[in-house]
Chain A
Amino acid sequence: MNESLFISIIIGISIASVPLIFAAIGELLVERSGVLNLGVEGMMIVGALLGFVVMSHTGNPYLAVLSAMLGGMAIASIFAFLTQFLLTNQVATGLALTLFGLGFAAFAGRGYTEETIQLITAVPIPYLSDIPYLGPLLFSFNPLVYLAFFMVYLVWWFLFKTKQGLILRAIGDNHDAAHAIGHNVVRYRVMAILFGGAMAGIGGAFLSLVQVPIWGEGMTAGRGWIALGLVVFASWQPFRIIFGAILFGGITILQIHAQGLNINVSAQYLSMLPYLATIIILVSLRMRLKNKTNRTVPNCLGRIFHSTT
């Protein structure tokens, strides 16, 4: 295999996996706090739309990414309000969030389907990117790619190296006990949900600002749901998200290259691969854990908390 093809495949994989890393690491923190938010797809598409709209009006990539984050947080706040204050069922509310987000983005973005924008391109780090082999492999990515990996580190550091992270995990495992010793369960969960919204927002924006320079209804194409699968696959461990996301990125790239190589399988069957892979990977994880309960699942995941005192 020649070198430039190899590098282009690596870059392709990274571009395909980064939206999943963002969305999944956000959801991981949310689930660690004991909340199951099935609205990832809805938050991603709103992020994709807002990032695109702001980029097409201002041309400023920082503003675009920032507004995608805020958009994700705004729609996540609906979920936070309903589940944390009005004690609604998290599964139903998350689904409503996805349906609403898809509808809202299609409605609000109807004037933008013909437009194109300037993509956010890779920024090779000066000097370092000139190193042979290592330079193109490590130091010439899109800035958002580095941010994604940094966020994974940050979530790991927060969860396992800070006091607040410990409290958040405690809340996820036993909200009644955490409440009894004086921690504010609802506040932690609301913050986690908003963080999850922000991350899903960036993940969505990555699709419309880095992958393709256009906006289209339903352009997230199930990536929010794949991100939810990744969290399970990662057994709620931050660094495993990267591994899982790269696996999916690889499958996506394989599918694109296979189409280019004229392999005699219709495009539809190749496009099924990422979805089928999600299922296969979840099954294989279970086969590995055979007869053992997955002890990393937050105990209170999806349960409603209401304090009477």
Chain B
Amino acid sequence: MIKLVPRVENSTLMILLSPLLAMTLTALSAYLIFVYILVDIDVSSVFYTLFVEPLRDSYYFSELLVKAAPLMIIGLGLSIGFRAGIWNIGAEGQFVIGGIAGSAVGLYFYNVEAFWILPLMTIAGILGGMFYAGIAAFLRVKYQVNEILVTLMLTYVAVLFLSAMLQGPLRNPSGFNFPESRLFHDSALLPIIWEGTRLHIGLIVAIILSLIAWFGIKKHMFGMQIKISGSAPRAAKFAGFDDNKTVWYSLLISGGLAGLAGIFEAAGPAGQLTPGLPQFYGFTAIIVAFLARLHPVGVLFSALLIALSYVGGENVQIEYNLPSSITQIFQGMLLFYFLACDILIKYKVVLFKTKN
């Protein structure tokens, strides 16, 4: 028989080992899927395309960083909220609203070329995301309505709203009725930091934000507050922490960052507002936050890992004609294994003989 015995202290070794174990198990499962389900495929070359090629080819590597940037920014916000036990599951919706709000500003000043347009768009994007997550915060504080359900429902609403905007006020007037906005002109586009690629300044912003968040959580009282609110809600109450404040801050921070990622996506790789703006980043960032164990710097690395699966997954799709959903399956499996392996941190696995 197998029994779980709680450890006195969390195992530091396992904190480091369990993500590696989870990755190994995911790779193993992926291998089995390729061998037994997609029989007529050369597994080693698929694995090469999935995991090695994006790292060796400079174009694919730049695309990996392009995809990692929004995941880092959203994942960072989510990790802060999740620490406090505030489950903002609708980052996807805040991402979309941020993209719409920022783009609307950019399109309003379509005929103006000025340095202040991009900062203004960015602020609009952040405020859009904050407003949208703020709805959930308000309903939770005022009416104790569960934020998981509200943020999720609002995600569906946001995607429909994007579609309505692109068929209405934000549609390109000379675009033959396609549901797309005008292309942003140069002063509404994010600066490129790697010539010849789509890699934009968002990556640098993500890294700076992550360091700020890390420092903030370590040094600032608010970091303490969200940590205790999440792990020991009763203790937080006795310590006099304001519950409502935790809810508001968590949702506004994660919503604002999701909105920022949204406008960066529109003003960065997309260059316009299209129905294809939401690419599941808001949901994938949940996986990113967990893989990072909700650590603000860890998010940078887990976002790179997940971005690798995106880029590798796309290449596999094209080269081997596999469906895009395969990426999603791997990401889901990775999270399953990761959550499962974490038990090794808090518990010892002990084998014992059953008494007859």
A binding-site residues for B, Cβ under 8 Å = 38, 78, 82, 86-89, 91-93, 95-97, 99-104, 106-107, 110, 217, 221-222, 225-226, 228-229, 232, 266, 268-269, 271-272, 275-276, 278-279, 282-283, 286-287, 306, 308
Contact = CB atoms under 8 A, between A and B. Distances in A.
6 contacts: A82-B339, A96-B339, A97-B332, A100-B329, A104-B332, A107-B329
Interface in B154-177: 154, 156-157, 160-161, 163-164, 167-168
Is chain A's interface secondary structure helix, strand, loop, or mixed overall? helix
Nearest to A286: B143
Contacts of A275: 153-154, 156-157
A131 B49 CA distance: 66
A137 to B, nearest CB: 32
B148 interface: yes
B243 interface: no
B167 A88 contact: no
B164 A268 contact: yes
B356 interface: no
Interface residues of B, number: 45
Contacts, number: 130
Contact of B154 (A82, A266, A279): A279
Nearest to A104: B329
A91 B139 CA distance: 20
A217 B328 CA distance: 13
A52 B153 CA distance: 27
Contacts of B164: 266, 268-269
Contacts of B340: 82, 86, 88
B4 A279 contact: no
B187 interface: no
Given A102-B328, A222-B152, A268-B163, 16 more contacts: A82-B339, A86-B340, A88-B340, A91-B87, A92-B335, A95-B286, A103-B327, A103-B328, A106-B324, A106-B325, A110-B323, A268-B160, A269-B164, A272-B157, A275-B156, A283-B143
Nearest to A99: B332
Interface in B280-326: 283, 286-287, 290, 323-326
A99 B87 contact: no
A225 B149 contact: yes
Among B153, B157, B323, find the residue whose CB has the most chain A CB atoms closer than 10 A. Answer: B153
A96 B291 CA distance: 12
A306 B335 contact: no
B189 to A, nearest CB: 28
Contacts of A95: 89, 286, 335
Given A82-B339, A93-B339, A222 B156 contact: yes
B333 interface: yes
A101 B331 CA distance: 11
Contact of A99 (B144, B145, B283): B283
B290 A92 contact: yes
Nearest to A89: B339
B336 A96 contact: yes
Contacts of B336: 78, 82, 93, 96, 100
B324 to A, nearest CB: 8
B149 A228 contact: yes
Given A87-B343, A103-B328, A104-B332, A272 B4 contact: no
B339 A88 contact: yes
Given A92-B290, A222-B156, A282-B146, A272 B328 contact: no
B14 interface: no
A97 B346 CA distance: 23
A88 B22 CA distance: 14
A87 B156 contact: no
A217 B329 CA distance: 14
B39 to A, nearest CB: 15
A199 B283 CA distance: 25
A78 B340 CA distance: 11
B167 A266 contact: yes
Given A103-B328, A106-B325, A283-B145, A87 B347 contact: yes
B342 interface: yes
A271 B163 CA distance: 11
Nearest to A95: B286
A217 B157 CA distance: 19
Contacts of A88: 339-340, 342-343
B217 interface: no
B335 A268 contact: no
A93 B342 CA distance: 12
Contacts of A87: 4, 343, 346-347
A107 B156 contact: no
A99 B335 contact: yes
A102 B327 CA distance: 11
A282 B146 CA distance: 9
Contacts of A106: 323-325, 328
A261 to B, nearest CB: 19
Contacts of B287: 96, 99
B335 to A, nearest CB: 4
B332 A107 contact: no
Nearest to A103: B328
A79 to B, nearest CB: 9
B6 interface: yes
A284 to B, nearest CB: 9
B150 interface: yes
A279 B155 CA distance: 12
